[in-house]
Amino acid sequence: MITVRIPTPLRPMTGGKGEVEGTGNSIGELIDQLNVTHPGLKDRICDEQGEIRRFINIYLNEEDIRFLTGKDTPVKDGDEVSIVPAIAGGSMTKLRFHIRFPEEKVPEPIIYQIGHEYQVVTSIRRADVRETTGWMDVEFSGETEEIERAITGLRNKGVLVDPIELNVVE
């Protein structure tokens, strides 16, 4: 068995685990095998041509495989492989949406509910809510995928959601 260290950004594919085990005779085989046990992992590590992405480094026992024989670098039982992507800092996405409420939804604290149901922070930038109609410009911060889930959740509650601008990255 080969021990593979998974960095934080790829842990959603390993059920949150920071260390998984894999098999194979080379780094390339190991990645293919890992993709069977943890679907989606290979797409994050390799590009469309199957080459390791340039902002991800793989280390075999602390040595960068780019300076060994790349994906063909042989591996054996007991080896430790680390996947180390470039990390930039502690940033996150901010997205703004224009939200319109149908009459029957106006009395409900929908934005509050969304903030509690999903891992997003909501910030109301502009709003006009009256007895029978209402709209708000709301900024969502959080992971892109979680924001998307929150937006789907909003639409399922019967409100109309339109993006205001593509995105704002802090």
21 binds another protein (CB under 8 A): no
7 near another protein, judged by CB under 8 A = yes
* 57 is a site residue for another protein (CB under 8 A): yes
Residues in region 145-164 near another protein by CB under 8 A: 145-146, 163
- Rounded to an integer, what distance in angstroms lies between the CA atom of residue 14 and that of residue 26? 21
* β-sheet bridge partners, residue 19: 5
The answer to whether 42 and 32 are in contact (CB under 8 A) is: yes
Single-letter amino acid code for the residue at 77: D
119 contacts another protein (rule: CB under 8 A): yes
Q: How far is the CB of 103 from another protein (least distance, A)?
A: 26
Judged by CB, which is closer to another protein: 37, or 123? 123
Is 19 or 103 the residue whose CB approaches another protein more closely?
A: 19
Q: How far is CA 2 from CA 20, 56, 75, in A?
A: 8, 19, 8
How many Å apart are CA 56 and CA 60, to the nearest integer? 13
59 binds another protein (CB under 8 A): yes
Angle at CA 137, nearest 5°, toward 135 and 143? 130
Binding stretches for another protein (CB under 8 A): 7-9, 16, 18, 44, 53-55, 57, 59, 62-64, 66-67, 82, 84-93, 95, 115-116, 119-121, 123, 141-146, 163, 166-167, 169-170
